[in-house]
């Protein structure tokens, strides 16, 4: 039987926001979820699923039925000499899963090392880093329908992946509980992606000319640790904003005033701007207001220096959105889910 408790959520979100949950339970099996769905229906409450709490900003107490996803387990099947299908339960820690795959010489997700959170969030967010996104290796996701407890399987086209987007953040938001995710990875002849960001420079600095997937993972981890704060030390949720995609005409108008604008092609008529560059150029990098601030080394990261409330961090993010829009005509969108 599920044990419901009232508790602070400070330890359950990487921002370290101190809000209260009145109805929290851990789910470790499908039976636990079915029991939770019965409680939800009986009490007529909304449902909130919490994994690693790494992409979430709490701005208020939680009176919904809050379920901590603790589903565990990893299995695999060899598809061929070249490919393996790996299935991980949604409650598995993402970085631990990545390292497990690397230890087995299964390639494709090494660039996603050290991303906080759990496996279940990977298709929801279409998580990505250093030139790789989940959609590149995704096979399918198993999920339980909240309305009736039925099990559904979604393939990549059905998930409608976009930039940090999927149907689980749009039309199916809150309608399914992700149980497990399957990825199609390589067993040999790995296609390494070392051209994005500073990976190649990091490998060169380490004297590595013929990298393995382990070498790429280590390089990514070194880069992330050099730029991003550890949530265990300084509360944060990683990149708070998405890199905006704009029409090339807007890019050119920005470039007239800021020739060093950081942008990448995004189709024939659009470009993706570096949100961190926009925020830093607007003067917000290192800014602090009480215990809410912008990280001194990476302007994309908002931080909690100790006792900031979610409302304070949200207001800081809104001030940044407004200022960037007034200076560049660009509308920033939050990557972090706000509750």
- Taking CA 30 as the corner, what is the angle to CA 133 and CA 2, rounded to the nearest 5 degrees? 120
CA distance 336 to 30: 27
Strand partners, 152: 143
Which is catalytic among the residues 166, 239, 271, 317?
Answer: 239
Among candidate residues 323, 312, 313, 246, the one with its CA nearest the CA of residue 284:
323
The number of residues making up the chain comes to 339
Q: How many CB atoms lie within 10 A of CB 81?
A: 9
- Taking CA 153 as the corner, what is the angle to CA 147 and CA 155, rounded to the nearest 5 degrees? 130
Is residue 307 flagged as an active site residue? Answer: no
Is residue 224 flagged as an active site residue? Answer: no
The per-residue DSSP string of 143-191 comes to: EEETTT--EEEEEHHHHT-BTTB-GGGTTTTTTEEEEEEEEEEESSS--
Among candidate residues 70, 47, 84, 36, the one with its CA nearest the CA of residue 213:
84
Is residue 14 within 8 Å of residue 52, measured between CB atoms?
Answer: yes
How far from chain centre, in Å, is Cα 157? 20
- Burial call 285-322: b when 16+ CB within 10 Å, e when fewer: bebeeebbbbbeebbbbbbbeeebbbebbbebbeebbe
Is residue 239 flagged as an active site residue? Answer: yes
- Could you give the residue numbers annotated as active site? 164, 239, 335
């Amino acid at each position: 039987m599920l044990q419901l408790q009232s508790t602070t959520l400070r330890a359950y979100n990487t921002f370290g926001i101190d809000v209260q949950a009145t109805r929290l339970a851990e789910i470790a099996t499908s039976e636990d979820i079915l029991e939770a769905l019965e409680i939800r229906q009986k009490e007529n409450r909304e449902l909130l699923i919490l994994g690693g709490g790494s992409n979430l900003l709490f701005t208020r107490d939680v009176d919904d039925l809050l379920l901590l996803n603790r589903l565990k387990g990893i299995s695999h099947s060899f598809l061929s000499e070249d490919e393996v299908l790996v299935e991980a339960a949604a409650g598995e820690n993402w970085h631990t899963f990545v390292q497990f795959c690397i230890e087995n010489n299964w390639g494709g997700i090494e660039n996603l090392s050290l991303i906080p959170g759990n496996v279940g969030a990977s298709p929801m967010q279409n998580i990505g880093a250093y030139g790789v996104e989940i959609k590149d290796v995704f096979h399918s996701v198993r999920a339980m329908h909240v309305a009736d407890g039925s099990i559904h399987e979604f393939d990549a086209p059905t998930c409608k992946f976009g930039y940090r987007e999927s149907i689980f953040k749009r039309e199916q938001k809150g309608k399914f509980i992700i149980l497990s995710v399957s990825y199609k990875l390589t067993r040999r002849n790995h296609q390494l992606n070392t051209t994005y960001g500073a990976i190649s420079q990091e490998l060169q600095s380490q004297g590595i000319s013929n990298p393995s997937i382990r070498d790429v993972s280590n390089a990514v981890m070194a880069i992330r640790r050099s730029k991003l704060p550890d949530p265990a030390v300084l509360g944060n949720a990683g990149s708070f904003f998405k890199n905006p995609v704009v029409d090339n005409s807007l890019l050119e108008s920005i470039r007239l005033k800021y020739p060093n604008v950081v942008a990448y092609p995004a189709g024939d008529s659009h470009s993706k701007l570096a949100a961190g560059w926009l925020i830093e150029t607007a003067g917000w990098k290192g800014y602090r207001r009480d215990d809410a601030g912008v990280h001194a080394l990476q302007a994309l990261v908002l931080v909690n220096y100790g006792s900031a409330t979610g409302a304070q961090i949200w207001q800081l993010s809104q001030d940044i959105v407004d200022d960037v829009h007034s200076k560049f005509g660009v509308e920033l969108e939050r990557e972090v889910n706000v509750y």
